[in-house]
Amino acid sequence: MNPIVIIGSGLAGFNTLKEFRKLDKETPVVVLTADDGRSYSKPMLSTGFTKQKSADELAMANAEQVAEQFNVTVRTHVHVAGIDTAKQRVLLPDDHLDYSALVLALGADTWTPPLEGDAVGEVFSVNDLIDYGRFRQALEGKKSVTILGGGLIGCEFANDLSNGGFQVSLVEPVGRCLPMLLPEPASAAVGRGLEELGVTFHFGPLAKAVHHRHGGPGERDMLVTELSDGSHIESDAVLSAIGLRPRIDLAKQAGLNTNRGILTDQTLRTSADKVYALGDCAEVGGHVLPYVLPLMASARALAKTLAGEVTPVSYGVMPVTIKTPACPVVVCPVPDEVEGEWRIEENGNDVTALFEDRDGKLRGYALTGEAIKEKMKLNKELPALMP
């Protein structure tokens, strides 16, 4: 019997494996991964400087340990080059592998803006454990970091690197923190919290270029980030946290339907027979939700389907906790199609922002500071995202 093949060893791939093994101990499973196959919790990457954890310390198990624990084959450093859905076959660089079912848990690519300058190659992004290890190593003995992007990842790293003793500058063209997730007063509260930690904001301009500045005798070499308003920031390192794009190319080349992500129905099934997708690469019933809660719900449902009981995933209320302890944030993002307005109460950095639709029903919220205590109560009032 051909194995179930899972491509990807992130939280989506490994949680599908874990949930499946609770139901079926024997069916052969092969995990293929472009990285080293270590099991880790990605959200921990933006708390590593606070907790002073190396990449090795954040890893929970290596590929061999995962293989043994779950009775599977894990093939590391394998980049899947294609999928032949008619033959139910995965194409590897010098080989192929036939599957009985295929799970795409491919994650998302980081997006770096089109920068100029002779130091562009030194701009970091941190989207997996290997990136984190390299970034940490590069910062050894260094003092300052410029972060490009003030979204979830940018703000979390701003808080974490400040806690780790670095001087942080953050560039955000939209002009406030977490602009895609929070209304203005909640953004302002997060901005004040981070400023109190020492973060310097450059709101408004775009980053245009990153150059080397070679220090004179007794001086450190620095990187200079040039902004579109003509100003410059000097720092030891630059971290890009501009955004993520679901990895859809492999699916697209194989003829699967894609949009923002790999399109699936509520049972995580793509447009090809026996091919499923979940996690950051997937657009499930119209939702692209690059967070842990949705992928855990998807992994549980998909495991049942793979074990023979076709099971749709339900998305209940999906709050996201943003790890900015300088000003804690919990947000339940408003679904794209919902129209309405924010009702906002603020008291210093404690902001309660409730998004109500045209019928006055709660459809999302953003809470900062002490107001995050309202989370449980509000979760009960919200409708499920995808019942």
Ligand X SMILES: Cc1cc2nc3c(=O)[nH]c(=O)nc-3n(C[C@H](O)[C@H](O)[C@H](O)COP(=O)(O)OP(=O)(O)OC[C@H]3O[C@@H](n4cnc5c(N)ncnc54)[C@H](O)[C@@H]3O)c2cc1C
CB of 299 to ligand X, least distance (A): 9
Other CB atoms closer than 10 Å to residue 354's CB: what's the count?
21
The alpha-carbon radius of gyration of the chain (Å, integer) is 22
Which of 4, 5, 6, 11 is the binder for ligand X (CB under 6 A)? 11
**Least distance in Å: CB of 294 to ligand X?**
8
* Start-end of H helices in the chain: 11-23, 55-58, 63-70, 129-138, 152-163, 184-197, 249-253, 292-306, 375-381
Task: In angstroms, give the least distance from the CB of 72 to ligand X.
Answer: 14
Among the listed ranges 54-62, 72-80, 190-198, 326-334, the one in contact with ligand X (CB under 6 A) is 72-80
In terms of Cα–Cα distance, which of 98, 76, 72, 75 is closest to 85?
98
Q: Does 342 bind ligand X (CB under 6 A)?
A: no
By C-beta, is 119 or 277 nearer to ligand X? 277
Nearest Cα to Cα of residue 244 among 114, 107, 115 = 107
Which of 7, 239, 275, 296 is the binder for ligand X (CB under 6 A)?
Answer: 7
Stretch that binds ligand X, among 40-48, 55-63, 207-215, 251-259 (CB under 6 A): 40-48
Q: Taking CB under 6 A as the rule, does residue 6 contact ligand X?
A: no
Binding residue (CB under 6 A) for ligand X from 3, 10, 154, 261: 10
124-163 positions binding ligand X, by CB under 6 A: 126-128, 153, 156
* Contacting residue, 145, 295, 327, 353, with ligand X by CB under 6 A: 295
Backbone angles phi, psi at 20, to 5 degrees: -65, -40
Question: How far is 350 from 190, CA to CA, in rounded Å?
Answer: 10
Among 16, 33, 144, 225, binds ligand X (CB under 6 A): 33
Cα–Cα distance, 301 to 286 (Å, whole number): 17
Using rule CB under 6 A, residue 89 touches ligand X: no
Q: Which residues contact 57 (CB under 8 A, 6 or more apart)?
A: none
Whole-number minimum distance, CB 179 to ligand X, in Å? 18
Q: Does 283 bind ligand X (CB under 6 A)?
A: no
Output the smallest distance, CB 361 to ligand X, in A: 25
Rounded alpha-carbon distances, angstroms, from residue 141 to 42, 132, 137, 157, 220: 25, 16, 9, 18, 11
Angle at 356 between CA 352 and CA 361, to 5 degrees: 115
- Contact set with ligand X (CB under 6 A): 7-13, 32-35, 42-43, 45-46, 78-80, 105-107, 126-128, 153, 156, 247, 250, 279-280, 290-293, 295, 320, 323
